[in-house]
């Protein structure tokens, strides 16, 4: 296989520090490719609808990447509103601010992590995060920070995959399980999808609603671009010392009649209570008790 198993351009781990990888083009290519997928557009539209945006609102997108969702928000809040893209990658923010699809008058960019947004409390009308908590070691901190900056009554939308639901066509079940597990465990929070409901409830959100959306890729090229399976197979080879493992698996995928892969994206939405509220303490203890890397 031609992939370098130790390359920093691995999609499962590189997004946690894009600037540090020195491989910006890989991450830009991934974000651009995903943006065009109909199944991605479908769940993003749902997330936008459930934020119930209107004219004049200020909305932040945490982990905005190339800013495509910032553009969607900017259109929904009108000229008197403001869409703010937050991201810790200076390189991605530069690309976003010059992205011809996003250069709108009512957008702003903030270089920051989701853990520390650097905003006063209760200053934004809605918040969203999309495929970003999966790259964060402690997603609870980010959700609590989003709660803090949100005004009472404001809405949140979190869309995150759960990599425990990743599937890919293969006649080699054991080998495919190893590849799927390796890919999942290479994310900081690979099981974040299933945790969104307790995370939101524990932070204090109410009216929490969760739905599942299948993100599908068909054909080996699309599968590799979205799910980085070739590099994963090479990394499993390197980690086990079975040098031909990855090549065998990849060759089999390439000869499959119609290769298909998919993962469930969980979309959780909720509302910050209008009055005084305290997070659900009992639920909080339950979540803390079961907390792990995922
Ligand atoms: C897979 S991309 C998703 C980008 C965008 N939300 C989208 O849907 O296209 C993950 C993004 O999270 C950002 N990110 C990584 N760690 C972060 C953190 N601690 N706080 C906020 N964003 C983070 C990355 O720089 C990257 O832009």
Residue 251 to residue 247: CA distance in whole angstroms: 6
What's the length of the chain? 294
How many Å from the N-terminal Cα to the C-terminal Cα in the chain?
A: 31
All structural domains of the chain with their residue ranges = 11-272
Classify domain 11-272 at the CATH class level. alpha beta
| Phi, then psi, of 245 in degrees rounded to 5 | -55, -55
Ligand 1, atom 13, lies closest to the CA of 63
Q: What is the pLDDT of residue 242?
A: 87
Count the neighbouring beta carbons within 10 Å of the beta carbon of residue 222. 16
Ligand 1 centre to CA of 231 (Å) is 21
In the numeric block, the tokens 């990599």 are attached to: 163
Looking at beta carbons, which pairs linking 137-142 to residues 24 or more positions away fall under 8 Å? Answer: 137/188, 137/189, 137/293, 139/189, 139/192, 139/195, 139/199, 140/199, 140/202, 140/203, 140/287, 140/291, 141/114, 141/115, 142/62, 142/113, 142/114, 142/115
**CA separation, residue 189 to residues 52, 108, 110, 164 (Å):** 28, 28, 24, 11
- Using alpha carbons only, what angle is made at residue 116 by residues 191 and 57, rounded to the nearest 5 degrees? 95
Ligand 1, atom 26, lies closest to the CA of 65
> Which mutation among 87, 145, 193 tests ligand 1's pocket best, with the greatest number of atoms within 8 A of CB?
87
- The two tokens of residue 197 are 């409901």
E strand or H helix at 167, and its extent? strand 150-168
Q: What is the pLDDT of residue 171?
A: 81
Give pTM, 2 decimals.
0.92
> Which mutation among 13, 36, 132, 161 tests ligand 1's pocket best, with the greatest number of atoms within 8 A of CB?
132
Q: What is the pLDDT of residue 290?
A: 35
Could you read off the pLDDT tens digit of each residue along the chain, which spans 294 residues? 544 555 789 999 999 999 999 999 999 999 999 999 999 999 999 999 999 999 999 999 999 999 999 999 999 999 999 999 999 999 999 999 998 887 788 999 999 999 999 999 999 999 999 999 999 999 999 999 999 999 999 999 999 999 999 999 988 899 999 999 999 999 999 999 999 999 999 999 999 999 999 999 999 999 999 999 999 999 999 998 888 999 999 999 999 999 999 999 999 999 999 975 444 444 444 333 333 334
Q: What is the pLDDT of residue 287?
A: 35
Pocket lining for ligand 1, CB < 6 angstroms: 15-16, 18, 31, 62-65, 68-69, 87-89, 92, 113-115, 130-132, 135-136
């Amino acid at each position: 296989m031609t992939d370098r198993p130790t390359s920093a351009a691995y999609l499962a781990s590189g997004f946690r520090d894009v600037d540090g990888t020195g491989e910006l083009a890989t991450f830009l290519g991934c974000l651009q490719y995903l943006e065009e997928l109909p199944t991605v557009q479908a769940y993003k539209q749902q997330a936008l609808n459930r934020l119930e945006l209107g004219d004049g609102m200020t909305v932040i997108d945490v982990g905005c990447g190339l800013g495509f969702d910032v553009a969607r928000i900017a259109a929904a809040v009108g000229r008197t509103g403001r869409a703010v893209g937050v991201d810790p990658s200076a390189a991605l923010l530069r690309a976003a601010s010059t992205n011809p699809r996003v250069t709108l008058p009512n957008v702003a960019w903030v270089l920051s992590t989701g853990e520390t947004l650097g905003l006063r409390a209760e200053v934004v009308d809605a918040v969203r995060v999309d495929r970003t908590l999966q790259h964060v070691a402690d997603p609870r901190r980010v959700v609590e920070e989003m709660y803090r900056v949100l005004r009472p009554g404001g809405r949140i939308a979190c869309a995150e995959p759960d990599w425990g639901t990743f599937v890919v066509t293969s006649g080699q079940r054991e080998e495919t399980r190893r590849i799927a597990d390796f890919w999942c465990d290479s994310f900081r929070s690979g099981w974040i999808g299933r945790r969104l409901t307790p995370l939101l409830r524990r932070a204090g959100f109410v009216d929490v609603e969760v739905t599942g959306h299948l993100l599908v890729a068909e054909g080996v090229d699309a599968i590799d671009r979205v799910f980085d399976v070739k590099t994963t197979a090479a990394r499993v080879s390197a980690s086990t010392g079975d040098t031909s493992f990855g090549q065998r698996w990849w060759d089999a995928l390439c000869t499959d009649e119609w290769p298909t892969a998919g993962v469930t994206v969980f979309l959780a939405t909720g509302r910050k209570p209008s009055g005084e509220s305290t997070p659900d303490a009992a639920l909080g203890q339950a979540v803390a008790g079961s907390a792990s890397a995922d």
